[in-house]
Amino acid sequence: MSYLFKPANYKPILNLQQTELGITKIKDFFQSNLSSELRLRRVTAPLFVLRGTGINDDLNGVERAVNFPIKDMNDARAEVVHSLAKWKRLTLADYKIENGYGIYTDMNAIRADEELGNLHSLYVDQWDWELVMTADQRNIGFLQNIVRSIYASFLRTEYLVSESFPDIKPYLPNDITFIHAEELRQLYPDLSPKERENEFTRIHKAVFIIGIGGLLGDGKKHDGRAPDYDDWSTVAENGLPGLNGDILFWNPVLDMAFEVSSMGIRVDKTALLRQLETEAKLERLDMYFHKRLAEGSLPLSVGGGIGQSRLCMFFLRKAHIGEIQASIWPEDMYTECQKLNIMLI
C-alpha cells in the first residue's frame, strides 16, 4: 500500500528549474568528494544480472526482482538488480584493486515491491561503493572512520548547496553520533525500531546506527539485512554484534528520521557460513558468488550504498522523492500532492 506523509504548510524553496540545477550540482560535487575521501575509482555497472548466480542483492529476502527471458540465451532469465552489494566485491577481485582503494558506480534499480510514498519509489538510484580492506581492519573503529569520511563529504555538499541557494540554510551538525541498535533498544525499550530511530535522530540530527540484521536482546531485529554481504553477527570489541549500520539524518521538512545510506564491513568466509546457517539459507553456497567467497578468491571489503535522490531530496529540502526523480505514482497520490504544493516530476 502507498503512504503519503503530509507536511503542514509545505512550500518548495526551489522551483523546477532551480531544482534540476541543484540535483546536477549535488550529484557532480558529492561523487567527486566521495571518490577523493575513500580513494575510489568509477566503474560501469550492470542494470541486470543472471538469475541463480547469487549476485543480486535480495534485500530482506522477500522482495521480488523484476525479471525477463533472454531470447539469445535459450530464455535464461535475467533479473534487474536490487543493488550491487555483491557484484562490487566480484569487481574488486576481477579488477585486482589494491588494499586501501576501491570503486564506486551509479546503481539504477527497479524495486517493484516498494511501498510507495515520500521516501520510496519504484526507481532506486544510488552511489554504490566498495573498498578493499585488511583482516585487522575488521573492527568497529575502522567502520566508524569510514562513516566519518563519508559524513565529511555530506557536510561539504551541504555547504555547496547553501552557497548556491542562500534560502537553504546548513543544518547538519559538525559530527555524526554513533549508537548500537541494542543500546538504542535499551534506551527506548517500549518503542518500535522506527520510533527509536525518530526519537534518537531528533536529538542528534545525524546518527549512525550499528548492528542491523542480527537479533537484539529482545529476540527481534532492528531491521532486516541479507545474510551474505554485511557482517551483522560478528561480536565486536564493545561486546555487541554487528559490523554494519545505517546513516540517518533528521529531516526538518518531514519531521522524521531519514535514512541516506546503508553500509558495512562485508562477510568473510566464517561470517558467511554462520549467517547463512542462522537464516537457514545454506543452499546458497552452491551459487557462483558464494563459491568464490568460500574459496577465498574475493578480497575483504567494506562497502555500501548512498541514495542519490534521497540525498538531493534532503539537501534541497523537498517533501517527496518524486520532486527529485521521474517515476510512477498512484493517481490519488498525484492529486493529493498537488493540493500540498508537492510537484511530482
- Cell numbers linked to 247: 546513516
Q: Which of 37, 106, 199, 259 is catalytic?
A: 259
In a domain, 5, yes or no: no
Q: Which of 31, 83, 126, 327 is catalytic?
A: 126
Q: Which of 83, 89, 111, 196 is catalytic?
A: 111
How many percent of the chain have pLDDT more than 90?
86
How many percent of the chain have pLDDT more than 70?
98
CATH of the domain at 130: 3.30.930.10
Can 57 be counted among the known catalytic residues? yes
In the structure, how many helices (H) and strands (E) does the chain have?
A: 9, 11
Q: Which of 58, 246, 268, 323 is catalytic?
A: 246
In a domain, 6, yes or no: no
- Cell numbers linked to 326: 521521474
Domain extent, residue 79, equals 16-339
- Under 8 Å between Cβ of 40 and 34: yes
Q: What is the pLDDT of residues 173-187, one digit of tens each?
A: 999 999 999 999 999
In a domain, 7, yes or no: no
pLDDT of 1: 47
Can 262 be counted among the known catalytic residues? yes
Q: Sheet holding 102-110: strands in order across? A: 40-42, 102-110, 123-132, 301-307, 256-265, 244-251, 206-210, 177-180
Can 111 be counted among the known catalytic residues? yes
In a domain, 318, yes or no: yes
Average pLDDT in the chain: 94
Q: How many domains would you assign to the chain? A: 1
In a domain, 4, yes or no: no
Can 64 be counted among the known catalytic residues? no
- Cell numbers linked to 67: 525479471
Q: What is the largest CA-CA distance in the chain?
A: 57
Can 259 be counted among the known catalytic residues? yes
Q: What is the DSSP string of 241-272?
A: B-SEEEEEEEETTTTEEEEEEEEEEBP-HHHH
Residue 275 pLDDT > 60: yes
Q: What is the pLDDT of residues 305-340, one digit of tens each?
A: 999 999 999 999 999 999 999 999 999 999 999 999
In a domain, 2, yes or no: no
**Measured in whole angstroms, how far is the alpha carbon of residue 11 from the centre of its chain?**
28
Q: What is the mean pLDDT of residues 107-130?
A: 92
- Going by the DSSP 8-state scheme, the letter that residue 72 receives in this structure is G
Q: What is the mean pLDDT of residues 66-81?
A: 92
Q: Which of 31, 35, 57, 266 is catalytic?
A: 57
In a domain, 301, yes or no: yes
Which single residue is written with the C-alpha cell 498512484?
330
Q: What is the pLDDT of residues 227-270, one digit of tens each?
A: 999 999 999 888 899 999 999 999 999 999 999 999 999 999 99
pLDDT of 61: 61
Residue 50 backbone class (left: φ over 0; alpha: ψ -120 to 50; beta: rest)? beta
Q: What is the pLDDT of residues 159-212, one digit of tens each?
A: 999 999 999 999 999 999 999 999 999 999 999 999 999 999 999 999 999 999
Neighbours of 156 (CB within 10 A): 14
Q: Which of 83, 121, 137, 262 is catalytic?
A: 262
